[in-house]
Amino acid sequence: MEYRKLGNTDLKLPVITHGAFAIGGNMWGGNDKQDSISSILASLDHGVSAIDTAPFYGFGLSEELVGEAIKGRDRTSIQLLSKFGLVWDGSNKGKGVFFFDAEESGKKIPVYRYAGKENIIKEVEESLKRLATDYIDLLQLHWPDQTTPIEETMETLEILIKQGKIRAAGVSNYNTAQLKEASETLLPASNQVSYSMLNREIEEELVPYTLANNIGIIAYSPMERGLLSGKYFRGGKLKENDHRQGYFTQFNLDKVQDLIQTLEPIAIDKQVTLSQLVLRWTSLQPGITAVLAGARNAQQAKENAQSAQVSLSAEDLETINKALEKL
């Protein structure tokens, strides 16, 4: 496994980091507890020492499963990445901004973005309990909250670092202007953003800024939630309550299928899966510290970890990039 230093911190993350969104089950058509735990253990056993989760994933379930999976393991050899700022239990008492309605057991649950000081402190204590640990390696704001001053959020994160409850603080889904404002109070260690072959908007402004200011980028949705695996063009079916039923409609699926047909011979030649090829390309792009790869069972986790070993030549990258220009 390849490890990279995260921004201005002493944290070193595996270039492939375990993404624990799907194991929460919510929005993903459910989950299997034992498979979820096995996926985490397999990641750890194959050098993927970092696990990225969040309270919102499964309304606490993802964090609980992560805590159960790492029980008895050497905590210092594991990097736990979690988040704050999405409130679904009403504890925000009308503060923050409405985000969307989530669903659980057929009921709509309003979710709010809220990054006020008291909420951050509350969420961290709850996350520490679910994760069964006394510190979080990287705590990240899940989504921007326009109703709370960025300065207040950053000052609270600075307090938590001094208290030892978190080792480093980052953000998610921030644009360049928001990063600049945050840095006036506390330089974020990282920005977790959506990035994939089908979504490269960050390359224009955000990546140059983070490179110049020693801020790491953690890329999420590199597989576009499984679309780039190709299996949905080969008869794969989604459950009715899987959010990807609607998510995939944003893409020109004919062009995505053409891209996959270009990538598949490269993957076959290298004796790797299409997913492994896509993950490796993503990890080799400028400014990317780590790539989040979700896994719902041990085999997927193992394959994700092995993607870090895929060798892509300059010619391979040129072929891939020319195919991407046609999207």
pLDDT tens digits for range 113-144: 999 999 999 999 999 999 999 999 999 999 99
- pLDDT for 34 beyond 70: yes
Please name the residue that has the structure tokens 């000081």.
Answer: 117
Quick one: pLDDT band at residue 243, thresholds 50, 70, 90? low
- pLDDT for 45 beyond 60: yes
Q: Catalytic: 232?
A: no
For domain 3-243+279-310, give the CATH superfamily.
Answer: NADP-dependent oxidoreductase domain (3.20.20.100)
199 DSSP 8-state letter = B
Task: Say whether 290 sits in a helix, a strand or coil.
Answer: strand
- pLDDT for 28 beyond 50: no
Higher pLDDT, 205 or 34: 205
- pLDDT for 32 beyond 80: no
Catalytic residue, candidates 57, 114, 174, 195: 57
pLDDT digits (tens, 9 = 90+) for 174-202: 999 999 999 999 999 999 999 999 999 99
Angle, nearest 10°, between helix axes 253-270 and 274-283? 90
Task: Find the distance separating the first CA and the last CA of the chain, reported in whole Å.
Answer: 31
CA–CA distance, 212 with 100 (Å, rounded to integer): 34
Contact 233, 260 (CB under 8 A): yes
- pLDDT for 239 beyond 80: no
CA–CA distance, 192 with 7 (Å, rounded to integer): 12
Give residue 121's pLDDT: 97
Per-residue pLDDT, averaged over 224-235, amounts to 77
* Residue ranges per structural domain of the chain: 3-243+279-310
Nearest to 111 by CA among 69, 57, 49: 57
CA–CA distance, 91 with 57 (Å, rounded to integer): 17
- What DSSP assignment string belongs to 91-148? TTTT-SEEEEEEEETTEEEEEEE---HHHHHHHHHHHHHHHTSS-EEEEEESS--TTS
Give the pair of three-digit tokens for residue 110. Answer: 């309003």
Give residue 188's pLDDT: 98
- pLDDT for 232 beyond 80: no
Helix-strand-coil split of the chain, %, nearest 5: 45, 20, 35
Q: What is the pTM of this model?
A: 0.92
Contact 81, 50 (CB under 8 A): yes
